[in-house]
Structure 1
Amino acid sequence: MSSSPVIKERRQPTPQEFVEMQNSAEFKELRSKFRSFAFPMSVAFFVWYIVYVLVATFASDWMSTPVVGNMNIGVFFGLAQFITTFAITYIYIVYANKNLEPRQAAIRQKMEG
C-alpha cells in the first residue's frame, strides 16, 4: 500500500492582517526594492523605444542604410528592441531571485504560518 503525502493546509490571513502587513516595515522594504528596479528599468526601456521610433521617423534615410546584404540599420535597431526585452527579463529574474523572493517568502511564511 502506498501512503499519500500529507498536505499541510495554509492558514488564511484575516483582512486586518493583510492591512497590518501592508503597513509593516518589511513590506515597505519589499515594495521599495521592487520599485527601485522596476521604475528606472521601465523608464530606460521606454526612452530606448522612443529613440527607436524617433530615429525611424526622422532619420529614415540613415535607418535604410544597408549593413549586411538586404539587412539595414533599421532591421538591426528593431532586433535590438527584442534583445533588450529579453535582457531586461533575464536581469529582472536574477534581481528578483536575489532581492525580492527571499523577502516575499518571509512575508508569506509570516502570514500563512
Structure 2
Amino acid sequence: MDDQAVRERDARAYEAVYEAADFTELRRRYKNFVVPWTITFMAWYLAYVACCNWARGFMSHRIGDSHINVALIFGLLQFVSTFVIAALYGRFANRKLDPLAHGLNAKYKRERRR
C-alpha cells in the first residue's frame, strides 16, 4: 500500500473517531474535570503568592514555639494539593475516561483495517 493510501485510510479512521458520540462525551468529561480543578488550583496558588507579597505579617506568624510559620505551611500545602489533584485525576480517568478511550481506540483500529 502506498503512502497516500495509508494517509487517506488513517484520515478516515481519525474522522470516524472524531465524529463518534463517545469522543464528544470523552472531551466533555475531561473538560468538566480539568477546568474547575485548574481554576481552583490557580486561585489557591495566586492566593498564596498574594499573601506572601501583601500579608507578610500573617505569613510570618509562627506556629507554636517552633521556627515553622504560616508561609512554610502554605508552601508545603501547594505540593500536597498538587499530588491530591493528580491522584483525583488518576482515579477519575480510570473510572470515567479510560473506558471511553479504550472503546474509541478499538473503533480506530477497526476503521484502519477497512
**TM-score normalised by the chain length of structure 2:** 0.84
Secondary structure at the aligned position of 1:71 is classed as: coil
Tell me whether 1:48 sits opposite 2:55 in the alignment. Answer: no
CA distance in 2, matches of 1:43, 1:103: 25
Partner of 1:7: none
Partner of 1:73: 70
* Cα displacement (A) at 1:20: 2.6
Tell me whether 1:85 sits opposite 2:82 in the alignment. Answer: yes
* AA at the equivalent of 2:48: Y
Q: Any residues of structure 2 matched to 1:34-45 within 5 Å, and which?
A: 34-45=30-41
The runs of 5 or more residues in structure 1 that have no matched partner are 1-11
| Runs of 4+ residues deviating >4 angstroms | none
CA distance in 2, matches of 1:34, 1:112: 22
- Over the residues paired in the alignment, what is the CA RMSD in angstroms? 1.4
Partner of 1:98: 95
1:24 is matched with which residue: 4, 14, 20? Answer: 20
Secondary structure at the aligned position of 2:63 is classed as: strand
CA distance in 1, matches of 2:62, 2:109: 59
Measured against aligned partners, the alpha-carbon deviations of 1:19-68 in whole angstroms (never above 9, x if no partner) come to 23212211000000100001111011001000101111110111001114
The runs of 5 or more residues in structure 2 that have no matched partner are 1-6
How many residue pairs are counted as aligned between the two chains? 102
Structure with a larger share of its residues in helix = 2
2:106 is matched with which residue: 82, 105, 109? Answer: 109
Partner of 2:4: none
